Amino acid sequence: MHIVHLALQGCLRGSDIEYGITADTGGHIRYLLELVEASEQDSAIERITLVTRAFECEFSKVDYTCPVEVISPKITLVRLPTDCPDYLPKEALWQEHPSFIAAFERWLATLPAPPAALHAHYADAGEVAAEISARQGIPFVFTAHSLGRCKLKCLADGQLSLDAETQQTLQRRIAFEERAIRNAALIIASSRDEAEVQYADYLHYDAGRIRVIPPGSHLDDFTSAASTPAIDAMMQPFLIDPDKPVLLAIARPVTRKNLAALVCAYGQSKALQQCANLVIVAGVRDHIDALEPELADNLHELLTLIDDYNLYGHVAYPKHHAPEDIPALYAWARERGGVFINPALNEPFGLTLLEASAAGLPLIATDSGGPSDIVEQCGNGVLINPRHNDEIIRQALDLFHNPSRWQRMADNGREAVKAYDWKGHTQYYHDLLARLSQPALEPAAPKALLICDIDNTLTGSPDGIRAFTTWYEEQPTLGFGVATGRSFHSALSILEQAGIPYPQVIISSVGSEIYYRNDDGVTYQQDTQWSGKIDRRWQQEAVQQALDEVAELTPQGPLEQRRHKLSYFSDGDASLVAQLQAHLKQRGLASTVIQSHGRYVDILPLEASKGQAVEHVRQHLNIERQALYVAGDSGNDLDMLRSAPCSIVVANHSDGLLEAPGMAHVYSAQARHALGIIEGVQHFQRKQKTGGTA
């Protein structure tokens, strides 16, 4: 398979990257190079080509006009000339699209065969790939890295006034992104926030064509890092007491990184200044005014704030560092009981968070973007609203004053970053590309259908999952779907991690969303008929306001709130469901209330639930009622189990499931997890063959 990556912006080369030399030379370039380096290890990948724009520049001695750079036997970097020979920031690249597309088509014509796929990185590459795909019929994958609408929203939320030129630039970028989102065969996101929140702001948003694949990472240099004399020398001119704990930030000084807010928070807290130094590593520079305007403006603001708050002797902001200094910086901070902070207005992924965790630092990170996934999975830090300086101060002070909490988060991070692995990333990525380029024939319409819950029903036993996968492959007429409280992308991620086959149906968010797998075997289509049906009497804002009055409920995180689902934590009181139902009914609000695993409460439209969604799917696929099997383990499976004649409760069930009314017909499996599902289906199949009743 030949994969062509398109990346127009920044200074791209095969080695010795000049990170931070421009506003567009940052983490996305590292991501791209590490992705292709990992990809070439797969024997199924024959060739990888990086295609970028050639340019001349005065700010570097490196030659960025060289037409071909051989990075390795499998990887080649191609630079194509455009009408303008100079370096251009991303805001000006649109002018070069016509000449770049012409040069790219000429290059494609020299290939013995078209590539299996194009992979476009950032908005301009997305626009180019969409045009090439329309002309040449080559499918393309889109990775946005960061999105224009998200940036526009961040600036608006921060109440920053935008001049006409900036508005026009962002709207042009958003238009390119809209076209890429509409026409891409597949979109790769780094986090659930990106997939479910950021992309959802776009007109052509289609959840079924997005896959969340967290970037891998090379962290060996960070796990074994130690401080060096070079770091001591770097800090010596700035800090009165360099041995104090340190609050460390490493980011390019672009507006989105929100470094000014970090300085303000530190400047506003005498307590924080007394217990810790602040270190900001913001790229490299010789003269600030020689940098691009955005970088120069932000650095001037940082220096002004340091002066206004009189933070000299407490804040370090070194001008230069070498790549090998970064692991040593984390280690230097760790040795002083430091904390790493990422206060960005939005962070699509957050690679520096993994680096810091690998080096043994706890995290304080923005709650907008990829850090939510990292902190949730790793338990290695805390999330903050980056616009609330008091949250930054409070969480930093708590970590500095609470050694046991600091140590727990440091330990958690060191262990959990092992999950972010390039090998796993590329295996999933290549599988998706192979399916898209050579889609398998879809099996015949199923004659029977199995729908099961995921957490603690299908998952929970690796041996059970392996047995389930083998068993399911021997069931040619049995369709397979899942019904889960998880969101669509969360469900896909957990299934992929567990090695479970792509289900034909995904009923997600406790039955409030339904997705069917498309003929390509990769993407999914949402059932809009179902969405329209449950929307008729649903008053989400009114329900939310009514529940704000209930002291026993605490809202779950923003990612767990959906268009047709409100999710809360509770204290586990069994009488709470009846209390909530009465509370909502009194206000004339029609809703379904579901409690599961003791402390989780979901509020749905009256017509929405796993059971009603399963029945909708059964009718849609023309499955006989006696050929429908459902399996679950907890309270949010209750109506699904009650409504289907062939229902299975696995042995590890909770919430007193079998004692609930209407459950007399349910088969109680002796086996746990996936093995219990197999046992239950086989029980009902035997009954049906012998003419017995279920």
The pLDDT tens digits of the residues spanning 291-308 come to: 888 889 999 999 999 999
* Residue 130: per-residue pLDDT: 97
Place 692 in a pLDDT band, splitting at 50, 70 and 90.
low
For the CA atoms of 468, 469, 474, 480, the dihedral, rounded to the nearest 10 degrees, stands at 80
The C-alpha atoms of residue 284 and residue 505 are separated, in whole angstroms, by 50
Q: Binning pLDDT at 50, 70 and 90, where does residue 371 land?
A: confident
259 token code pair? 């470094």
**What is the pLDDT at residue 507?**
97
Q: How far is it, in rounded angstroms, from Cα 366 to Cα 387?
A: 9
Instruction: Classify strands 363-366 and 381-384 as parallel, antiparallel or unpaired.
Output: parallel
**Residue 442 pLDDT > 70, yes or no?**
no
Mean pLDDT, rounded, of the chain: 91
**Is it the case that residue 668 has pLDDT exceeding 80?**
yes
Over residues 557-581, the pLDDT tens digits come to 777 889 999 999 887 787 888 999 9
- The mean pLDDT value for 38-60 works out to 94
Least Cα distance to 130 among 204, 212, 24, 194 occurs for 204
Banded pLDDT at 449 (limits 50, 70, 90) = very high
Provide the pLDDT confidence category of residue 694 given band limits of 50, 70 and 90: very low
CA distance 15 to 324: 14
What span, in angstroms and rounded, lies between the C-alpha atoms of 302 and 544?
40
Residue 265 is predicted with a pLDDT of: 96
Using CA atoms, how far apart are residues 496 and 443, in angstroms rounded to an integer?
Answer: 21
Q: What is the pLDDT of residue 421?
A: 81
Say which residues have a Cβ less than 8 Å from residue 285's Cβ, sequence separation at least 6. 291, 295, 299, 319, 320
Top pLDDT among 250 and 294 is at 250
Asked if residue 293 lies in contact with residue 255, where contact means CB atoms within 8 angstroms, the answer is: no
The residue-averaged pLDDT of 655-681 equals: 93
Q: Is the pLDDT reported for residue 211 higher than 50?
A: yes
Average pLDDT of the segment spanning 151-158: 73
Residue 526 has pLDDT above 90, yes or no: yes
Q: Which helix (H) or strand (E) holds 569?
A: strand 566-569
Contact of 640 with 608, CB cutoff 8 Å: no
DSSP string, 17-86: --TTSSTT-SHHHHHHHHHHHHHTTSTT--EEEEEEE--B-SS-SS----SEEE-SSSEEEEEE--S--B
- Supply the pTM of this predicted model: 0.79
Q: What is the pLDDT of residues 310-356, one digit of tens each?
A: 999 999 999 998 888 999 999 999 999 999 999 998 787 788 898 99
Q: Is the pLDDT of residue 366 over 50?
A: yes
Sign of CA dihedral 455, 591, 564, 480: positive
Region 515-522: what's the mean pLDDT?
91
Residues 6+ apart with CB under 8 A from 117: 1, 3, 4, 138, 139, 140, 141, 185, 433, 436, 437
What is the rounded average pLDDT of the residues 534-539? Answer: 93
- Tell me, what's the pLDDT at 690? 81
pLDDT at residue 177, as a whole number = 97
pLDDT of residue 176: 97
| Best CA proximity match to 53, nearest among 117, 115, 3, 122 | 122
d(CA 640, CA 608): 11
399-406 average pLDDT score: 95
CB distance 369 to 347 below 8 Å: yes
For the cut 90, the answer to whether the pLDDT of residue 628 exceeds it is: yes
Interval 576-600 mean pLDDT: 88
Q: What is the pLDDT of residues 79-90, one digit of tens each?
A: 999 999 999 999
